A and B are shown apart, each in its own frame.
Chain A
């Protein structure tokens, strides 16, 4: 795998982006400091200082469930590439059934998670 090429282009893009930002800051207008202008934008009204904004726990749940299902999908990739080889060596049925069992657990997990309303966004 051409790792050198990937690293080269990543470094090049980072430098290019930094260069673009530098050019933009040089060609931009003079920034005159004014406290109102530099406040965080809130539709033009002075910001309401709420000390503790509650954020839903659903973001955490979405991310955790994403990790789990992503790992299951990752396990399907080697299966998908070697499926035809398994068929040609005569073990197609065994591999297919074992993956169906795995997918059944996956589908059960998804079904349970939907039924338990873990991801109801309102």
Chain B
């Protein structure tokens, strides 16, 4: 087994085990921390795919911002342990997970086939596998040439989210009145 393969299997197992722990653990804080571990595992898997900048962004945004939000909020609410993870036994729970997984797979497969994702495709933006910088510069190139509208729209979307979050917090009891 080559070093690359060993690294991939190690990271895949760590990510999958953390992901399963999110739904199988009873304590919500442990679930959130395992989800953070999953994000870190996914970031490492991105590195094996030579997407270095995306791996760094996954660490900064997902593992370092979104999951911190999750953990902070769970700590704020002090949820009681949810021991009803599997009602009426393990078999029923396994059937639930399997059916949802099958449905999700069918939906994703239908979308992928209809948009041609599964067909053999040559990319129109070949990226050389060098140091991390070529892929980042290529990303910058594409962002400002092909996807410039999406880029600006994203700024507006983030502004809308900010307004929505503040409005939500205000309506639920206020940012200023305690």
Residue of B whose beta carbon sits closest to that of A60: B73
- Chain B 14-50 residues near chain A, CB threshold 8 A: 44, 47-48
Other A-B pairs beyond A63-B69, A105-B152, A117-B176, 7, CB < 8 Å:
A63-B72, A68-B162, A71-B61, A74-B57, A78-B139, A101-B155, A112-B163
Partner among A1, A3, A65, A94 whose Cβ is within 8 Å of the Cβ of B165: A65
| CB atoms of A82 and B141 under 8 A apart | yes
Show 11 A/B contacts (Cβ-Cβ < 8 Å), sorted by A.
Answer: A57-B174, A57-B175, A60-B72, A63-B72, A64-B162, A70-B64, A79-B140, A85-B137, A86-B144, A105-B152, A106-B158
- Determine if A18 is an interface residue (Cβ-Cβ < 8 Å): no
Chain A binding surface, main DSSP class? helix
| CB atoms of A98 and B151 under 8 A apart | yes
Bound CA–CA A56/B152 (angstroms)? 33
- Determine if A15 is an interface residue (Cβ-Cβ < 8 Å): no
The 7 A-B residue pairs with the shortest CB-CB distance, nearest first, are A82-B140, A78-B140, A63-B69, A105-B155, A64-B165, A109-B159, A118-B166
What residues of chain B have their CB less than 8 Å away from a CB belonging to chain A? 3, 7, 10-11, 44, 47-48, 52-53, 55, 57, 60-61, 64-66, 68-69, 72-73, 76, 132-133, 136-137, 139-141, 143-144, 148, 151-152, 154-156, 158-159, 161-163, 165-166, 169, 172-176, 178
Taking CB atoms, residues of chain A closer than 8 Å to B155 are 72, 101-102, 105-106
- Determine if A27 is an interface residue (Cβ-Cβ < 8 Å): no
Taking CB atoms, residues of chain B closer than 8 Å to A119 are 175
Taking CB atoms, residues of chain B closer than 8 Å to A79 are 140, 143-144
Residue of B whose beta carbon sits closest to that of A6: B44
Of B137, B163, B175, which is in contact with the most chain A CB atoms at under 10 Å from its CB?
A: B175
Partner among B7, B76, B154, B178 whose Cβ is within 8 Å of the Cβ of A7: B7
Bound CA–CA A92/B171 (angstroms)? 44
- Determine if A120 is an interface residue (Cβ-Cβ < 8 Å): yes
Would you give the shortest CB distance from B73 to chain A, in whole angstroms? 6
- Chain A 95-112 residues near chain B, CB threshold 8 A: 95, 98, 101-102, 105-106, 108-109, 112
Taking CB atoms, residues of chain B closer than 8 Å to A122 are 176
Would you give the shortest CB distance from B50 to chain A, in whole angstroms? 8
Of B48, B136, B165, which is in contact with the most chain A CB atoms at under 10 Å from its CB?
A: B165
- Determine if A38 is an interface residue (Cβ-Cβ < 8 Å): no
- Chain A 70-96 residues near chain B, CB threshold 8 A: 70-72, 74-75, 77-79, 81-83, 85-86, 91, 94-95
